Amino acid sequence: MPITLITGPHQSGKSRRLWERLRAEPPGAAVLVRPVAGLPAELVRQVHAWTGPGLIPPVWSLAELVERCAAGAGELMGTASDGLLTHLLRGWARRGLRGPWASLAEFRATGRELAELCRRLDDHDVGAAELATAARAMASREPRLAAVAQDIAAARGHVDGLLARRTLMLPGARLRALAAGGGAPAVAGIYIDDFQAFSPGELALLRALGERRTLVIAAVDDARLGADASPAARLRAALPGASEERLGGVHPRAPHAPGARTLLAGALAEGHRVDAQAAGCYRYRDAAHAGRAIAAWLRRAGVAPAQATLVVRAADAEALALADALRAAEVPISGTFQVPLLGTAAGGRLAALATFCRSGDWAAFLDLVERLDAEAPPLRLPDLRGPWARLPVDAALAQIAALADQGVAAGWGWQEPDRARPWLTATLAWLRAWRKKLGKGGHAAEPGADVRAGAGSAWWDGFAAQARALDLDDGGSGALATLAEWSALQPVGAEDLDELLAAARVPVVRDGGPGALVVSDAVRGRIWPRAVVLLHGLEHGRWPAQAAGGALLPADERRALAAALGRDVYDDAGRAAGEVGALLAAMGRATARVVLGIPCGEREPCAWLGTLADQLGWQLEDLRAAAGDEAVPGAPLGPGDSQGAHERALWGSAPGSPSFTFRVPPCAPQLLGLKASALGSVYRDGFALVCDRLALGEPLSDLERRDEGNALHQLLARLAPHPAASWPHVLGELLRVWVADAPDALVAGERARLARRVTATMAGESASAADALSHEAEVRVDIRIPVPGHEPLALRGSIDRLDTQPDGTVRLVDYKRGSLTALRSALDEERDGQLLAYLLGAEAKGLAPASAYYLGLGDGRRAGWGGVPTLKKGLPVLTDGVPLAELERLAGGLGSAIAALAAGTAHADPDGRSASEYAPLARLDEQRLDQGGGDLDAAEGGGDG
């Protein structure tokens, strides 16, 4: 059977052409496959506009296609979910890991990451034989990774053995089995549309279907998505011999105004200029702010809500908060949002029951019965916690009975207007009735007993029995049924329930009627053409979402493993390109104007937004700094409530950063793994240093951004041999090559934008450095920092540039790609360690430092020590930095901070980093943060962030 690819850039008419071919099929002979089942009314109208009236073929989801293939092959296997794999591997990891990962086996995240790794290996069909071959290949040069490969093979074997007993398979293995077994649905033609990416297993199934059925696939083919990363490129490689129908640019009958058409065609194209009349923007700090800002923009622009679509990265709880903020600003909203189950009444009841079954104490009992009974007792239950919150329920009830009888119990008194205390007596009767209904109550383990996965069957049995007796629902999330299925394979523990409840999502619908503003999910949803499309959530790392780093396999080890296996199982290029494609597709639905949300405050814009703003001639940094400009009349909370005092206070507030203090394993200063370039983190984020030491830091770092910064530093180092006056010319040549070597259009656009700023900065820097006799780059220095109670800490550092001046003194320069705001604050607060260390190293080298400063490559700003050169009216002048006379005193303060970290006190004040990013590491099973084991308690805010 033939396979046909319909390819082309966004809005080139791929879906139109696919539907023309689909509707030419005889009735019942073909089906359409989309990411989700069902045919929205908007699509039905659009299809009739394309191809006229008539019958619409059946529409399947990809999951339904897979199950129909299984039915055709007589295959009855099920698919193991990521949650089930995590459940199976968490308990096994504590006893099954033998290599370098054994020290991390107690971490809650370990089971999750092992499950992710097993699923990816399965997707790429990497089996035990290949892992054994990789282990042998790495045994001599990578002994640690060879041991890791053995752990991976053991984990895969454990999972496969358990699944085989329950007629379950890993997702990729099941797809390959269906492809090999000849299963196919009972239709002649399969038409596939709206997919942004396919997994290797899905591609294998499509290749097999193409041998037995007519297969037509519409796929994006756009150079802006990166080389070999667009869906069409991957389909060509996976489906050799497929014929292709290639479409050109934007379809001539597409309903786009000329401005919107050029905006779509130019997105991410380097050096492209776009008519700004086709674009608009609003600025925001958070969901409440964004709701008012969007409402204000709609009113100013005269756009009715029914003419616009608001596209969010994911229709989640944050998007629901945005939608409700718009409703408060009197904008009708329609959309379906996936919100956390724990944020609903059903989720709260399940969580309260779980806590009661685990602890069985009085406080948990009160919380549970308050959630279960809609009829409130005469008294507020929190008033009855008293000093016996941690007592068993029966003991606490005895204290309440004494209160009702005598008015005093355990030194705790109770007063009511009536001395008979009828309120307390009635509440006691209500509590006793619930106590009887709950039976023995919690199934808490004895003190010190293990209630984790593998040892918690009694706990789980009690929870399941209580849930059935109380007839608790799970909000439609299927959490209870999932737990029951898991328990059939191995005992369910408290961690399984916690993670499942935290991950479960339930839909919440907002229906504002036919005149509403539609809120659509960019990746999972389908956006229909409207006059205006508003793109929200354009923060760095979200459009597109960058691949999340893991704790078990840092980037360098992933590369080594990929080299040994002959493929990179963590290859996310297709997924990332799919998300960029979803973004471009969303923008392409605007028939008149695209409106961009500009994130302000601590939210960082993504590279795509920066590139498009540059094409429009917008100064992105200036826009981000003026978030308060959106606070205008016309965006009220309600009737007559515009620009109230509370609104001005909300819009003018500056967001704060979370702050924690953790108790961590003590060690010698030499074992802290400190680097001279990161000494400022000792003050600001010591916890991140601990995570790095335990190989857990990668999820908190943006590796792509760091690699880009390293490449730029290497490029600037090549300027040192040249006279300062020639730097702008030499740099221009170097930057042109740097931009041309970008791996894809997204990076190229960001590099081009940054290159112009770096050129302007270094032109000013060449004037400031013209008086130097010589310049050196990457100067290595030895640093010794006095640490109280220990030997001096010896480090080595590399100074980006060192200028020798006519009087024999030297000037130290450290380049920074990002903003200097945090570094300026650190210098003012005497909490900066990097330049301080370089100054100590320069003095130890026998040099005479006169100044040292950071240079912001993006804006040319400077901050540092001694006389810092700046340009005023084109002439270099000196401004005062931190006095060099303070060097010895501040070095002592840095040594004291290092001594505190070595003693086990780690502070975290993540600038621009949310508490949720720390949560997987800060939680640490609420117990451990040490490769050697042992229980440690987190202080001041705790390990749960």
Residue 919 has a pLDDT of 52
Q: Is the pLDDT higher at 165 or at 161?
A: 161
Residue 444 has a pLDDT of 43
* Segments in 782-886 forming alpha helices (H): 821-828, 834-844
And the tokens for 670?
């030499």
Q: Indicate the DSSP class of residue 355.
A: H
Angle at 370 between CA 366 and CA 373, to 5 degrees: 135
**Which of 101-110, 539-548, 775-784 is least confident?**
539-548
Residue type for position 176: R
pTM assigned to the model: 0.74
22-62 residue pLDDT tens: 999 998 899 999 988 888 787 888 888 888 888 889 999 99
The share of the chain scoring above pLDDT 70, in percent, equals 87
545 pLDDT higher than 80: no
Residue 649 has a pLDDT of 42
Cα 213 from Cα 886, distance rounded (Å)? 78
573-589 residue pLDDT tens: 777 777 788 888 888 88
327 pLDDT higher than 70: yes
The share of the chain scoring above pLDDT 90, in percent, equals 34
Q: What is the mean pLDDT of the chain?
A: 82
Q: Which residues of 413-432 are buried (b: 16+ CB within 10 A; e: fewer)?
A: ebeeeeeebebbbebbebbe
Residue 831 to residues 661, 818, 839, 894, 935, Cα–Cα distance (Å)? 17, 18, 15, 8, 31
85 pLDDT higher than 90: yes
For the segment 199-204, the average pLDDT, to the nearest whole number, is 91
Q: Return all residues near 580 (Cβ < 8 A) that are at least 6 apart.
A: 224, 225, 226, 543, 544, 608, 746
Residue 458 has a pLDDT of 66
And the tokens for 603?
């939210």
Cα 343 from Cα 502, distance rounded (Å)? 9
256 burial class (0-12, 13-18, 19+ CB within 10 angstroms)? Answer: buried
- E strand segments, 227-307: 243-246, 279-284
904 pLDDT higher than 90: no
Residue type for position 370: E
Contact 291, 326 (CB under 8 A): yes
335 pLDDT higher than 90: yes
Q: Is the pLDDT higher at 145 or at 660?
A: 145
For the segment 290-308, the average pLDDT, to the nearest whole number, is 89
Backbone φ, ψ for residue 400 (5° rounding): -65, -40
Cα 563 from Cα 134, distance rounded (Å)? 9
Contact 152, 117 (CB under 8 A): yes
634 pLDDT higher than 50: no
- DSSP code per residue over 325-354: HHHHTT--EEEEEEEEGGGSHHHHHHHHHH
Q: How confident is the model at residue 923 (pLDDT cuts 50, 70, 90)?
A: very low
Q: How confident is the model at residue 121 (pLDDT cuts 50, 70, 90)?
A: very high
And the tokens for 80?
């193991």
140 pLDDT higher than 80: yes
640-656 residue pLDDT tens: 333 344 444 433 434 44
671 pLDDT higher than 90: no
Q: Indicate the DSSP class of residue 641.
A: B
And the tokens for 891?
């070095």
For the segment 410-414, the average pLDDT, to the nearest whole number, is 83
Residue 694 has a pLDDT of 66
Number of C-beta neighbours around residue 500 at 10 A: 23
631 pLDDT higher than 90: no
